Amino acid sequence: MNTQIQMQEQALGKDKWVTMRDVADLAEVGTITVSRVLRTPEKVSEAKRHRVQKAIEELGYVPDNTAGALSSSRSRVFGAIISTISDSVFASTLDGLSGTLRAAGFELLLTSTGYDPDVEEDALRALLARRPDGVVLTSTSHSAGSLRLIRSLSIPVVEIWQLPSEPLDIAVGFSNFQAGYDMARHLIDSGRKTIAFLGGAGLLDERGRRRREGYSAALHAAGRPPITWPNEDQGIPSGIEFGAAFFDQCLNANPHIDAVMCVSDTVAVGVLCEARRRNLEVPGDLAVSGFGGFDVARPSGFDLTTIEVPGEAIGVASARALLDPDAARARKVIDLGYKLVARGTT
């Protein structure tokens, strides 16, 4: 079977997608048997069904729902699987992505996962059944099933926002670790003595975790103990209520805190609200920073010190990578950087 898999992998290098014939050859059955396993498995013997299912898993085969509907080898559709669409985190990125693709005559199919790797795998299978010309992913943490599917593809796969240490194909974004480090250094250099970090504890929130790790590295380099809250995985808490509640708990545990670095701008807004309720002056008694560079952080809003992320530029660069994958693969990692913007809260 190993020799067959190697031969199959060599043959697949010539094709864009794993086909039903590829599965049939590996499982040593006819294509009709593969079709029956997919549509009416009860009509296939257990032994053959097991061989076919094993071949499907080995090859990362996804049935083609567009068969017979296309007159060319391109669907002129790209897919994006986004961690969340419940807030504005990826809004500007999606604008840049979809606008650039549409101008080139392509459309974008969009779905979200709620940061759940199992949902991502289901979404990926459904998306690949439409035979897209490329895929964008905002997560860099994937299930084993998703990885098998992705590695079976010859279409471009672009991971965005977080730059992984080993991209699956193409990566577009910035270093969340370095951004976290730089913001912590800004607070240290401004004279703050006891600096806490709120957020980034969730196992699925890789971007937030990397920001938190950057903060911890900066504190250790300065010879200071990091103060992080919460210290256990609580999913991906975000928003104003989270910021207020956890700042309250953190300050009760350590009343000497004079600076709070937040995993996002909305969490920082919650901290500012709680600080006002406690009659703490910002930035006199307490410095506060966010992350994202969203509208609430602007001088007309909360005048919040933050890391501005080039969201739209990430979308545009990702679209260009999909449209010209050879040029993007030559670079592999496209680092667009970020900007630390110091405002009234620090």
Residues 182 and 304 in one domain: yes
Number of residues in the chain: 346
Confidence of residue 15 (pLDDT cuts 50, 70, 90): low
Q: Does pLDDT of 33 surpass 50?
A: yes
Residues 9 and 48 in one domain: yes
The sign of the CA dihedral 247, 253, 258, 264 is: negative
Residues 139 and 46 in one domain: no
CATH number at residue 15: 1.10.260
Residue 155: inside a domain: yes
Q: What is the pLDDT of residue 234?
A: 60
Question: What percent of the chain stands above pLDDT 70?
Answer: 90
C-alpha dist (Å) from residue 165 to 62, 90, 139, 176, 332: 28, 22, 13, 12, 11
Residue that wins the pLDDT comparison between 335 and 130: 335
Question: What percent of the chain stands above pLDDT 90?
Answer: 67
**For the chain, what is the domain count?**
3
Q: What is the pLDDT of residue 238?
A: 65
CATH number at residue 203: 3.40.50.2300
Residues 6 or more apart from 208 whose CB is under 8 A from it? 176, 199, 200, 201, 202, 236, 263, 264
Confidence of residue 4 (pLDDT cuts 50, 70, 90): very low
Tokens of 93: 């990125």
Residues 189 and 300 in one domain: yes
Mean pLDDT along residues 157-173: 94
Tokens of 210: 């990397």
SS (H, E, C) the chain: CHHHHHHHHHHHCCCCCCCHHHHHHHHCCCHHHHHHHHHCHHHCCHHHHHHHHHHHHHHCCCCCCCCCCCCCCCCCEEEEEECCCCCCCCHHHHHHHHHHHHHCCCEEEEEECCCCHHHHHHHHHHHHCCCCCCEEECCCCCCHHHHHHHHCCCCCEEEEEECCCCCCCEEEEECHHHHHHHHHHHHHHCCCCCEEEECCCCCCCHHHHHHHHHHHHHHHHCCCCCEEECCCCCCCCCCHHHHHHHHHHHHHHCCCCCEEEECCHHHHHHHHHHHHHCCCCCCCCCEEECCECCHHHCCCCCCCEEEECCHHHHHHHHHHHHHCHHHHHHHCEEECCCEEECCCCC
pLDDT tens digits for range 206-243:
899 999 999 999 999 999 999 998 877 665 656 899 89
Residues 197 and 321 in one domain: no
Confidence of residue 19 (pLDDT cuts 50, 70, 90): confident
Tokens of 324: 């010209």
Range of the domain at 37: 2-59
pLDDT tens digits for range 48-71:
999 999 999 888 888 876 654 444
Tokens of 193: 């003595």
Mean pLDDT along residues 314-324: 97
283: cis peptide before it, omega within 30°?
Answer: yes
Residues 140 and 180 in one domain: no
How much is the CA Rg of the chain, to the nearest whole Å?
Answer: 24
pLDDT tens digits for range 82-127:
988 876 678 999 999 999 999 998 999 999 998 888 999 999 999 9
Q: What is the pLDDT of residue 3?
A: 44
Residues 187 and 261 in one domain: yes
Residues 212 and 234 in one domain: yes
pLDDT tens digits for range 134-152:
999 998 888 999 999 998 8
Q: What is the pLDDT of residue 87?
A: 63
Residue 67: inside a domain: no
Classify each residue of 264-274 as buried b or exposed e, where b means 16 or more C-beta atoms within 10 Å of its C-beta: bbbbbbbbbbb
Nearest alpha-carbon partner for 181 in 211, 157, 138, 202: 211
Residues 137 and 34 in one domain: no
Q: What is the pLDDT of residue 67?
A: 56
Residues 292 and 202 in one domain: yes
Place of tokens 């660069």: 317
Q: Does pLDDT of 342 surpass 70?
A: yes
Residues 230 and 164 in one domain: no
Tokens of 331: 């670079």
On whether the pTM is more than 0.85, the answer is no
Residues 48 and 139 in one domain: no
